[in-house]
Amino acid sequence: MITINSLTKKYGGNTVVNDITFTARSGRVTGFLGPNGAGKSTSMRMMVGLTTPTEGTATIGGRRFADLPNPGREVGVMLDASAQHAGRTGREILTIAQQIMGLPASRVTEMLGLVSLTADEADRRVGNYSLGMRQRLGIAAALIGDPSVLILDEPANGLDPAGIRWMRDLLRDYADRGGTVLLSSHLLSEVEIIADDIVMIGQGRIVCQGSKAELLQAAGTVVRAADVDVLRRALSTAGIQATASEDGSLRTDADPAQVGRAAYDGGAVLTELRTADSGGLEEMFLELTADTSRDSAPRKSSTERTAA
């Protein structure tokens, strides 16, 4: 289990991570999500002792990473697959890890097989690896000590669709056997498939957290009608507040059953009625982090919307 308590990192007057608190539990996959520059990588570096927190604590199984007697046997870490020594072979990198951790030499071959690196690839210098091969090697290095916790930053980078599915199945099986997985990723559809819990961060602060099911269920209801004005009146009469989307639909926090009943009573003919989670994790992510993402589309002013 990973426990983050009031973790903060400041560089001069710039607060990169601002008082974040969450727990990544055993037997579950926790997705750690946020726009570029949100503080994900800095947070992960603090978890594994590469960056010193300004305030707060990060513990793994109740202990700081620096206090673990043989860290690789308890925590598997992959923060940057491209940081591997380009002049060494994949086999050499795993062998060094095996020797440092005091593992049997057979563990190297076992890990190469697990991540599907062939004997020829294992004896090739890492500088000649593709990004996908580096990712596989990084996952092998994280798993070689048979740890109970995995901390992975963008583990699917560079993997093709088959490789992404392989990684997803590998991590799902790892968690199902009681392991703790914390992973960051920009591939939101993949996180939605594999994650049990979600922590979203923006501008260094947590904007939401909870189980995936709870967060998506709380997203509300999307409804559309042949006559949107009739639908608006029907919802208003029932005391249901709704906001308009640019695609012509209305969104509300009310339950779909309540919305359907209000529309029926008000004579509104519905063309769409669904829980907002049908839009998936990506829709929720974009909404919650819109104010912290550099790639958010500029919002139209009321004058611009009227003119359009």
Question: What's the pLDDT tens digit per position in 161-194?
Answer: 899 999 999 999 999 999 999 999 877 777 888 9
Q: Which residue has 């060094």 as its token pair?
A: 96
pLDDT for residue 158 is more than 90: no
Residues 181 and 229 in one domain: no
Residue 279: predicted pLDDT: 56
Q: Mind listing the pLDDT tens digit for each residue in 241-255?
A: 888 877 788 988 888
Residues 81 and 177 in one domain: yes
Residues 178, 224 within the same domain: no
Please indicate, yes or no, whether residues 97 and 128 belong to a single structural domain of this protein: yes
The mean pLDDT value of the chain amounts to 88
pLDDT tens digits, one per residue of 39-80: 999 999 999 999 999 999 999 999 999 999 999 999 999 998
**Per-residue pLDDT tens digits for 21-30:** 999 999 999 9
| CA dist., res. 80 & res. 86, Å (int) | 13
Place of tokens 């063309």: 271
Is the model's pLDDT at 264 over the cut of 90?
Answer: yes
| Long-range Cβ contact pairs of 92-97 (< 8 A, separation 24 or more) | 93/126, 93/137, 93/141, 94/122, 94/137, 94/140, 94/141, 94/144, 97/72, 97/141, 97/144, 97/145
- Residues 82 and 133 occupy one common structural domain: yes
Q: What is the CATH classification number for the domain harbouring 240?
A: 3.30.70.100
Instruction: Provide the domain limits for residue 101.
Output: 2-214
Residues 70 and 177 in one domain: yes
CATH number at residue 129: 3.40.50.300
**Token pair in block for residue 7:** 């973790």
Residues 191 and 261 in one domain: no
Assess if residue 307 is contained within a domain. no
State whether 140 and 285 are in the same domain: no
The partner residues of 274 in beta bridges, in order of sequence, read: 222
pLDDT given for residue 133 in this prediction? 93
How many angstroms separate the CA atoms of 97 and 70, rounded? 11
* pLDDT at res. 297: 47
